[in-house]
Amino acid sequence: MVGPIEPGLIWIGWISLAALVLYLATCIGVARTRRRHQIFAPAMTGHPEVERALRVQANTLEQLVPFLVALWLCARFWEPLPAAVLGVVWLVGRTLYALGYYRAAGRRGPGFVIGMVALVALIVGAAIGLVRLELVLG
């Protein structure tokens, strides 16, 4: 049995799962694009659509690690609700990034910026929460 949990942390769990589903969707996107263009592993080049799909997947994985850490630190040491809102913003940004990049590499910018702003805000929120806790426990 799980002990007492802040209700807001349940949202953080759902957002974490959504981020993992988003990552899995990028993996499926790579597989489908590879199959459509007959470019199979270990090849990493050959058709621009395959290369864009691979970049979406790789960049999403690169962003996933700091996002999940920052999301949970921010929720635990600052506040779950703002962390959840920023988590949703990150998900929207990463989705826009992927959809834009699939169409053309130059269309990835707005989604990237939205996701990065949310990530930086989560990191700042985590830092504020930790500093606040340090001052209280001092």
pLDDT of residue 3: 64
Written as one letter, the residue type at 62 is: E
The contacts found for 21-28 with CB under 8 angstroms, 24 or more apart, are: 22/60, 22/91, 22/94, 22/95, 22/98, 23/57, 23/60, 23/61, 23/64, 25/98, 26/53, 26/56, 26/57, 26/60, 26/61, 26/98, 27/57
Provide, for the chain, the percentages of residues in helix, strand and coil under a 3-state DSSP scheme, each rounded to the nearest 5. Answer: 85, 0, 15
User: Which string of b and e fits 2-12 if b means at least 16 CB within 10 Å?
Assistant: eeeeeeeeebb
Residues 107-117 pLDDT 10s: 999 999 999 99
Tokens at residue 93, please?
A: 């940004």
Fold (topology level) of 7-137: Four Helix Bundle (Hemerythrin (Met), subunit A) (1.20.120)
Distance between CA 62 and CA 67 in Å, rounded? 9
Q: Give per-residue pLDDT as tens, 36-63.
A: 999 998 999 999 999 999 999 999 999 9
Decide: 91 and 19 in contact? Cβ < 8 Å: yes
Per-residue pLDDT, 1: 46
Calpha distance 130→73 (Å, rounded): 9
pLDDT at 35: 96
pLDDT in tens, the chain (138 residues): 456 777 789 999 999 999 999 999 999 999 999 999 999 989 999 999 999 999 999 999 999 999 999 999 999 999 999 999 999 999 999 999 999 999 999 999 999 999 999 999 999 999 999 999 999 997
